Amino acid sequence: MSLLAVDEALNRIIKSVKTLDSEIISLGDALGRVTAMDIKAKLTQPPFAASAMDGYAVRFGDIDQPLKLVGISQAGCSYDGVLKMGQAVRIFTGAPMVAGADTVVIQENITLNGDMVIINDCKEKGANIRAIGGDFNEGDCLVGKNSKLDARHIGLLAAGNVAKLCVYKKLKVTLLSTGDELLEVGSQISPDKIVNSNIPLFKALVEEHGAIAIDLGTARDTVEDVKAKIALVDNVDIFVSIGGVSVGDYDIIQDVLKEEGLKVNFWKVAMQPGKPVVFGDFKGIPYFGMPGNPSSAYVCFANFMLPAMQQMQGLVPNGFKSSYAILNHDLKAGSNRANYMRAIYSQNDQGQKYVDGRASQGSSKLKTLADANCLLLREVNAPAAKKGDLVKIFLIKP
């Protein structure tokens, strides 16, 4: 059976997953969430014409004569009179404009002589005034649908008096690892056991990308234990198992899941590492069966699970951001599988990236993965590359 191409595997996944339903949340809980509709301003900002500087509110037609200082306007306590000919009002940044005034002269361009204001420089009528609605008006769209909210958005929505907003529900992801050899972090490790690093890795990945991780623990390599664990999969949006998807005598999870209702969409993809990845539907829940080797599982996450999560959260399913970099060394020709090399890129002052992929590429090596800040892609049957060639990379760290 020929291996499925990476692009075709991703296409099948994206067609199979649906964007989550929406919910209403408070602005204080909105950081990192994705808007499910356009969010509109509930007021006009500024709601009144205001001074943009500390200075003096005047009538532009009066600037060539001394003006009598008749009051003060400050933020939260405006001048309630009407400015008359030959008068000026002290005004501070953010304070409402004085009725009758049409210009603010900055304080550096003023000379005070008792209660008389002498204007030394003012070239433009209307200077230093923030117009009503200069930022936005009531009903304007502040943040569009399908936007991931960051601190700048939160500030803008607060200014628009948006206390509640509609976002997509948080994605819930159930994680299950399999293997008799696995022990929890902090355990006493015997010669035939290893620490389960995959669950902490995937829990962090899921949470790092805005979802809720639900850890079912580790299933032993028995039909009974696997069945007991998968019986706990309920009310979630994605089900992920890690390990046991290859063809070994103890790789049983796929067979057990099929007995319990798994419909496999594909198994095995033309990629390295990560070939034995499984995708399917488990009782209406998208299912990813990840390889047990950490780097293999990570590359499968980057190529398949992350775009699926993005699609379900209302985002563009692009996975990690791609870029291009100049090779620091030669590379041999590619194979019949796409190769995602764990690599390190650096960037010069002009923004040009240089990449090095000479670290050991064993799929079980977590140190290589942790040190990497990108994946260097070698396409199927890519020709040999020379130092100085441009290659595609995926940025797995900011």
d(CA 322, CA 393): 6
Residues 373-387: tens digit of each pLDDT: 999 999 999 999 999
Which pLDDT score, from 0 to 100, does residue 251 have?
63
In the chain, ranges of CATH 3.90.105.10 domains: 23-44+138-168
Helix (H, G, I), strand (E, B) or coil at 25: strand
- 91, exposed or middle or buried, with CB in 10 Å at 0-12, 13-18, 19+? buried
In the chain, ranges of CATH 2.40.340.10 domains: 322-395
Res 294 pLDDT > 50: yes
Percent of the chain with pLDDT over 70: 98
- Average pLDDT along the chain: 94
Helix (H, G, I), strand (E, B) or coil at 86: coil
At the topology level of CATH, where does 23-44+138-168 sit?
Molybdopterin biosynthesis moea protein, domain 2 (3.90.105)
Res 183 pLDDT > 80: no
Res 147 pLDDT > 60: yes
At the topology level of CATH, where does 50-130 sit?
Molybdopterin biosynthesis moeA protein; domain 3 (2.170.190)
Element (H, E) at 219: strand 212-219
d(CA 18, CA 319): 16
DSSP 174-201: EEEEE-TTEE-TTSPPPTT-EE--HHHH
CATH no. of 6-20+170-312? 3.40.980.10
Residues 227-247: tens digit of each pLDDT: 999 999 999 999 999 987 665
pLDDT band at 186; cut points 50, 70, 90: confident
At the topology level of CATH, where does 322-395 sit?
Beta-clip (2.40.340)
pLDDT band at 250; cut points 50, 70, 90: very low
Res 328 pLDDT > 80: yes
Res 249 pLDDT > 60: no
Residues 29-81: tens digit of each pLDDT: 999 999 999 999 999 999 999 999 999 999 999 999 999 999 999 988 999 99
